[in-house]
């Protein structure tokens, strides 16, 4: 299934860039009310093994969470999951409506007592305290920007005016692999690899911030003599039963578990150039020649 779906991504050449949620997202602030510089721990559209991460994670417990903009509370729960297509396992969650766009705050340890459904909140007010409720493996705020009418999750880092994180390292290619049925077979770029078929080639690429952060990349470009693949994670739209990226590709078209799918045809054309970057910081650009031999 991976291989047939792949083709939709590979035929894409032109780039649909930067379509922000709407004009009224101007002036959106960082959702943590702090002077302290915080790193983010996860980026938008990273792989979560079988689905896209649909927001940004800011680590830490006991941090004051504020709405990114003034608005109206449209959903608030202490329950374990949300209905519909919104992410499950959010723990204590608040959704705030700002015109046609919503912002969401999950895994809170406490919600302020004056916050209730339909209450109006100012951007200076506190919504609650960051924590570890729901499906969460460590205290953090999972934060997202959603447009319910179009079923679009936007990359919050494109929308917020303030960006309190530092990225001065370029992404790294950790390893390559071939997707052989349901397995990934890891190989080194400089070593020969024997393949009996034209299996899809994968790469584990992580962006670093200031040390060893494990962020997903924001954009990827694979240039080959006969085709080009471009991905940018501006938004994810729920369409025909799947969350899809700018190219209309679903998770399985984009990732094989934690690997980005580079495509097929590398047995014929092993030369390519790879560009990968985060939203900030230096990008990576590399010419690569894979030593794939036919078995
Ligand atoms: Zn998250």
Q: Is the pLDDT of residue 4 over 50?
A: no
Q: Which pLDDT does position 78 carry in this prediction?
A: 58
Q: Is the pLDDT of residue 14 over 90?
A: no
For 128-144, the pLDDT digits (tens) are 999 998 888 899 999 99
Q: How far is the CA of 196 from the centre of ligand 1 (A)?
A: 39
For 179-212, the pLDDT digits (tens) are 999 999 999 888 999 999 999 999 999 999 998 8
Q: How far is the CA of 34 from the centre of ligand 1 (A)?
A: 20
Q: Where are the domains of the chain?
A: 2-16+167-294, 23-159
CATH number among 3.30.70.2660, 2.60.120.560, 2.70.70.10, 1.10.3720.10, domain 23-159: 2.70.70.10
> Which pTM was predicted?
0.87
Strand locations in 112-223, DSSP E? Answer: 120-121, 128-130, 140-147, 152-154, 172-180, 183-187, 192-195, 201-206, 219-223
For 49-72, the pLDDT digits (tens) are 999 999 999 999 999 999 999 999
Q: How far is the CA of 251 from the centre of ligand 1 (A)?
A: 16
Q: How far is the CA of 56 from the centre of ligand 1 (A)?
A: 6
Q: Which pLDDT does position 9 carry in this prediction?
A: 36
Q: How far is the CA of 90 from the centre of ligand 1 (A)?
A: 9
Q: How far is the CA of 61 from the centre of ligand 1 (A)?
A: 14
Q: How far is the CA of 265 from the centre of ligand 1 (A)?
A: 34
**Structure letter (DSSP) for residue 25:** G
Q: How far is the CA of 55 from the centre of ligand 1 (A)?
A: 6
Which structure tokens are listed for 214?
């494990």
Q: How far is the CA of 142 from the centre of ligand 1 (A)?
A: 4
For 81-110, the pLDDT digits (tens) are 454 445 567 889 999 999 999 999 999 999
Strand-pairing partners, residue 235, are: 154
Q: How far is the CA of 136 from the centre of ligand 1 (A)?
A: 8
Element (H, E) at 56: strand 56-59
């Amino acid at each position: 299934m991976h291989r047939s779906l792949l083709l939709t991504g590979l035929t894409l050449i032109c780039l649909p860039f930067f379509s922000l949620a709407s004009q009224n997202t101007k002036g959106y602030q960082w959702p943590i009310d702090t002077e302290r510089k915080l790193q983010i721990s996860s980026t938008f559209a990273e792989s979560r093994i079988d689905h896209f991460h649909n927001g940004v994670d800011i680590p830490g417990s006991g941090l004051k969470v504020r709405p990114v903009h003034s608005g109206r509370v449209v959903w608030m729960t202490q329950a374990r999951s949300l209905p519909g297509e919104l992410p499950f396992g959010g723990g204590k969650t608040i959704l705030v409506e700002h015109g046609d766009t919503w912002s969401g705050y999950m895994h809170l340890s406490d919600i302020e007592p004056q916050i209730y459904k339909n209450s109006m909140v100012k951007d200076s007010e506190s919504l609650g305290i960051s924590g570890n409720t729901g499906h969460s493996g460590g205290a953090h705020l999972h934060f997202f920007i959603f447009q319910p009418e179009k079923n679009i999750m936007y990359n919050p880092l494109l929308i917020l005016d303030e960006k309190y994180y530092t990225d001065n390292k370029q992404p790294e290619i950790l390893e390559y692999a071939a997707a052989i049925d349901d397995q990934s077979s890891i190989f080194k770029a400089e070593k020969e690899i024997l393949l009996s078929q034209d299996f899809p080639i994968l790469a584990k690429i992580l962006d670093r911030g200031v040390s060893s952060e494990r962020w997903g990349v924001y954009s990827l470009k694979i240039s080959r003599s006969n085709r080009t693949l471009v991905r940018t994670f501006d938004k994810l739209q729920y369409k025909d039963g799947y969350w899809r990226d700018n190219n209309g590709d679903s998770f399985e078209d984009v990732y094989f578990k934690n690997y980005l799918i580079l495509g097929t045809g590398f047995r014929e054309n092993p030369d390519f150039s790879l560009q990968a970057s985060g939203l900030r910081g230096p990008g990576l650009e590399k010419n690569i020649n894979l030593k794939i031999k036919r078995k």
